[in-house]
Amino acid sequence: MDSTSLGTVISTIDSPTTSFFSFVISSPNVRKGQFVQTRCEDGMLFGTISEIMRANRYFEHAESVSEYEKGSPMPQNFPTADWEYVIARVRALGVYKEGRLVRSIFPAAPGSKVEGANEQALKELLGFEEKGLNLGKLQNHAIDAKFNLTRLLQKHLAILAMSGAGKSYLCGVLIEELLDRGKEQGRIAVIVIDVHGEYLGFKSGQYARQTQIFDGKKVRVSLKNVSPQMLFEWVSELSSPQKREIALLLKRMKGKMKEKQETVGLAELIKEIEASEMKDNMKGPILSWLAEINSMRLISKGDFPKIGELAKPGTLSVLDLSDIDSLKKKQIIVSYFARRLFLRRKKGLIPPFLLLIEESHNFAREKAPKESAISKSIIETLAREGRKFGASICLVSQRPVQLSTTALSQCNSNIILRVTNPFDVKHIAESCEGIDNYAQNAITTLRVGEALVIGEAASHPIFINVRKRKSKHSTKGEGLEDSARKFEEEQERKEKDVEAFI
């Protein structure tokens, strides 16, 4: 935006103040949400247009308008167009000094000219960087929204929106930006928990060499890396005596594995329990619970994928859980690999990483019974402690009200797309610092592709238009029409095959 005059500051009953001022608009290029500036005693005062009002004195009195309109339209008898004016109300953000905003302690002066915000100053104020992550355009401005990697991700990110509002599309844009970074810019590993197969498209096209897909049904967990505490989370029904017995057996088995230089799976642990002198009333339930875990075909003699394969600089690793129906199995996978990633990162054995969790409310539910909260503990731990070690998380959810408050409150950056559920809107307003009434009300009216960015990533709440993706959006899922058509075509083909056979 250039420095062309947009209007003139006016004096009203309640403004100008140090918080607000109004101006009469003289340019057709003024829009709600736009950043503007005006000079005052302290320097250049910046603000955002919070509302625009149109007025005309010829139409102020309803009874007069009603009477005149009985004859002919008022514009035919009076110069109504000459008396129309438009007023913009601006929320003052502060005075621009030495590359930052300082609190305004003196209001704008009536009669001062209002201009569009200087682009370079605006970039500095919002923390945009030339080599930052380009997620789109700043709304109402021809400025790329390029966010600093550290500010956006180090203290964790939450992407919240209702279903169909563009969460996964935005995540795809974010991943593209991370994969496009050069070695000299600092590359992190990206691991995605994909519950709907929405990131498989990265395996084709320009990001194919940087992408690896791991089929959830082939994922395996090594028993030798499973601690008693992990097992107790997976089987929450265990009593204290049962936990004590299992811990001793697991320790004994791991000792044997170390001596013989061999690995064993869960089946061997079950056999060990069956052969033990444990009381039957204790042994029976343990075997039943472990049999359930064993039926998932998850615990094996070795990890797949290995943590070193999962976390590589500048590489996207997708754990595709879309073909797994059991929520418990999904939670065990997330819990195990999240713990292993965090442990390895603390020891400096893997690069800094971003763990992006789709449908995160299913993995860290706020009010969940123990058996449904297997992965909640490690997600909250990552949210509290991960930033110290370069272990970042991105929580993606369509039901923020069901997401762990502990985890969500630790996400210092939030990108919010359209949300209409009043409980979710209220929860977002209470959990996300920096959101005001204007931004809260705007959340319900956002269109697909529009997003509100608040928190650490931007110095001020801003609206952006998400850029177009370079990669293919998804290879799974199809429209309802296509599904219905394919089903009938398949049925007809089967009927013809049966007739031909007869």
pLDDT, one tens digit per residue, over 413-432 is 999 999 999 999 988 888 87
* Coil, strand or helix at 297: coil
Model confidence band, residue 223 (pLDDT cutoffs 50, 70, 90): confident
Domains and CATH numbers, the chain: 5-126 (no CATH), 144-218+305-466 (3.40.50.300), 223-299 (no CATH)
Residues 6+ apart with CB under 8 A from 76: none
Please write the tens of the pLDDT for every residue from 19-30: 999 999 999 999
Model confidence band, residue 233 (pLDDT cutoffs 50, 70, 90): confident
Q: Which of 382 and 292 is assigned the larger pLDDT?
A: 382
Whether residue 250 contacts residue 277, with contact meaning beta carbons closer than 8 Å, is answered with no
Q: Which of 406 and 252 is assigned the larger pLDDT?
A: 406
Crossing angle of the two packed helices 266-275 and 240-260, in degrees rounded to 10: 120
Strands (E), 400-476: 413-416, 450-455, 462-466
Q: Which of 359 and 243 is assigned the larger pLDDT?
A: 359
Average pLDDT over residues 269-291: 82
What percent of the chain lies above the pLDDT cut of 90?
A: 57
Whether residue 461 contacts residue 439, with contact meaning beta carbons closer than 8 Å, is answered with yes
* CA dihedral of 137, 139, 141, 142, whole degrees rounded to 10: 20
Average pLDDT over residues 108-131: 93
Please write the tens of the pLDDT for every residue from 142-158: 999 999 999 999 999 99
Q: State the pLDDT at residue 1.
A: 45
Q: State the pLDDT at residue 2.
A: 52
Average pLDDT over residues 270-294: 82
Q: Cα separation of 380 and 404, whole Å? A: 8
Tell me if the bond preceding 400 is cis, omega within 30° of 0: no
- Here the tokens at position 454 are 């608040």
Length of the chain measured in residues: 502
Model confidence band, residue 100 (pLDDT cutoffs 50, 70, 90): confident
Which is nearest to 48 in space by CA: 35, 60, 59, 66?
Answer: 35
DSSP codes joined into one string, 155-223: T-EEEE--TTSSHHHHHHHHHHHHHH--GGG---EEEEEESSSTTGGGGSSTTGGGEEEEEGGG-BEEG
Angle (CA) 380-473-326 rounded to 5° is 45
Which is nearest to 461 in space by CA: 448, 477, 442, 479?
Answer: 442
Average pLDDT over residues 308-325: 95
Average pLDDT over residues 279-292: 83
User: At residue 104, does pLDDT exceed 90?
Assistant: no
398: left (phi over 0), alpha (psi -120 to 50) or beta: alpha
Angle (CA) 429-435-437 rounded to 5° is 80
Find the range with the poorest average confidence among 7-16, 321-330, 425-434.
425-434
- Here the tokens at position 282 are 């204790």
Model confidence band, residue 498 (pLDDT cutoffs 50, 70, 90): confident
Please write the tens of the pLDDT for every residue from 368-400: 887 788 999 999 999 999 999 999 999 999 999
List beta partners, residue 401: none
- Here the tokens at position 125 are 């104020």
- Type of residue found at 122: L
Model confidence band, residue 135 (pLDDT cutoffs 50, 70, 90): very high
Q: Which of 289 and 152 is assigned the larger pLDDT?
A: 152
User: At residue 3, does pLDDT exceed 80?
Assistant: no
Q: State the pLDDT at residue 380.
A: 96
The 3-state secondary structure of 333-400 reads: HHHHHHHHHHHHHHCCCCCCEEEEECCHHHCCECCCCHHHCCCHHHHHHHHHHHHHCCEEEEEEECCH
pTM of the model: 0.87
Model confidence band, residue 354 (pLDDT cutoffs 50, 70, 90): very high
The phi, psi pair for 443, rounded to 5°, reads -55, -40
Mean pLDDT estimate for the chain: 89
Distances (CA, A) of 36 to 198, 282, 371, 375, 436: 39, 71, 53, 46, 19
Residues 6+ apart with CB under 8 A from 440: 425, 428, 429
300: left (phi over 0), alpha (psi -120 to 50) or beta: beta
Q: State the pLDDT at residue 97.
A: 84
Model confidence band, residue 243 (pLDDT cutoffs 50, 70, 90): confident
Q: State the pLDDT at residue 496.
A: 81
Q: Which of 216 and 292 is assigned the larger pLDDT?
A: 216
User: At residue 72, does pLDDT exceed 80?
Assistant: no
Please write the tens of the pLDDT for every residue from 430-476: 887 778 787 888 899 999 999 999 999 988 889 999 999 998 776 46
Average pLDDT over residues 109-137: 94
Q: Which of 456 and 63 is assigned the larger pLDDT?
A: 456
Q: Cα separation of 395 and 107, whole Å? A: 41
Tell me if the bond preceding 73 is cis, omega within 30° of 0: no
Q: Cα separation of 92 and 47, whole Å? A: 4
Q: State the pLDDT at residue 476.
A: 60
